Amino acid sequence: MKPSFILVFCFTIIFITAGSFLNADEGKDVLLLPAGTMVLKAPPDFETKRLPVPFSHSQHFTSPCKSCHHNWDGQTRVKGCATSGCHDQFWPEPPDERSDQGKQLISMTGAYHKACRGCHYQQSKKNSSADQKACAVATGPVSCDGCHSETDTARTDDLETFEIPVGPVTIEAPEDVWQSRASVSFPHSDHFTYACMTCHHEWDGYSPIESCAACHDETSPHESTRDIKDPRNAYYFLAAYHNGCINCHRTLLKQRKTIEKNAPGKKNLPAYGPVRCNGCHNM
């Protein structure tokens, strides 16, 4: 479930845990996250045969930011696809007029169709396989009329923006809980390679994101066990953090070791986070 799509607007898809457990450090930058639907249009000086495309930004929060914004540094404002040097050429050049550089660049129309329709097609293909039917996910259209619908009347943006922090944020225990270890400086920007809903699994993609305390509001473990993997501790705040963060780090570490074993010397190995207490709590 990793769609890939290219957008012309300056926006980003990133996640934030807010509230009593997680607070943005003072003085840090923020980005604006648009939620809702935006309309993908051709530049004003181009005529097209088909209607603009209403694009549901919110429905794509199940995908990592960088699936689309592949050159984004995770820190600065996301640039539009039409930025000079990116997909600033709307139509592709005729084959006999392309320079060596032109052969490497994808036009805006090409980028949209390759990314959006290509992703929809691949997901549809996965859904149709026998072993994937049990976990099939919704996918988008692959036909021209599916995106450039003649019947869709939504031709204006319907967006609401939320502020999200860039850089590190500090994770602390709730105010009424004694904190035996140091607070955790969480590198938020380093996690923009993951989908928002990897963490915010109950988020609807349209409303402001609630704090972890809205769900994981139990400040002590179950009276019968402190085991964070026990289902009875699912809403214990420490269990939520440790199960989510450390399990992911361990999975990535395992993947890295497997690659190192089977392909010695291979570059661009998956990065992983700490798996021990002092790795996160800086003790």
Q: What is the mean pLDDT of each run of 10 residues along the chain (283 residues)?
A: 38 33 52 89 84 90 85 80 78 66 70 88 78 62 88 83 86 88 90 89 87 86 94 93 92 94 88 92 78
Residue tagged 């993997």 (tokens): 229
Burial class (CB in 10 A: 0-12, 13-18, 19+), 102: middle
Burial grade of 221 (CB within 10 A; 0-12, 13-18, 19 or more): middle
**Which residue from 137, 141, 97 is spatially nearest to 118, judged by alpha carbons?**
141
Cross-strand bridge partners of residue 32: 163
CA angle 19, 23, 277 (to 5 degrees): 105
Q: Residue 10 and residue 26: Cα distance in Å, rounded?
A: 25
Q: Can you give the residue ranges of every domain in the chain?
A: 22-159, 168-281
Residue 226: per-residue pLDDT:
92
Predicted local confidence at residue 13, as pLDDT: 33
Which of 272-280's residues contact partners 24+ apart within 8 Å by CB, and which partners?
273/245, 273/248, 273/249, 274/249, 275/246, 275/249, 275/250, 277/181, 280/184, 280/245
The two domains 22-159 and 168-281 share their CATH topology (first three levels equal): yes
Predicted local distance difference test score (pLDDT) of residue 19: 35
Contact 16, 201 (CB under 8 A): no
Looking at residue 228, its amino acid is I
| Cα 235 from chain centre | 24
Q: Cβ neighbours of residue 91 under 8 Å, at least 6 residues apart?
A: 46, 107, 109
Looking at residue 152, what is its pLDDT?
74
Cα–Cα distance, 228 to 242 (Å, whole number): 8
Please identify, in words, the CATH class of the domain defined by 168-281: alpha beta
Phi, psi of 257 (to 5 degrees): -65, -35
Q: pTM for the whole thing?
A: 0.74
pLDDT given at position 101: 54
Cα 91 to Cα 167: distance, rounded to the nearest angstrom: 37
Contacts of residue 108, defined as CB under 8 A and 6 or more positions apart, other chains included, come to: 8, 81, 82, 87, 88, 89, 90
Quote the pLDDT of residue 72.
Answer: 83
Q: How far is the C-alpha of 191 from the C-alpha of 175, rounded, in Å?
A: 26
In this structure, CATH architecture of domain 22-159: Alpha-Beta Complex (3.90)
Coil, strand or helix at 144: helix
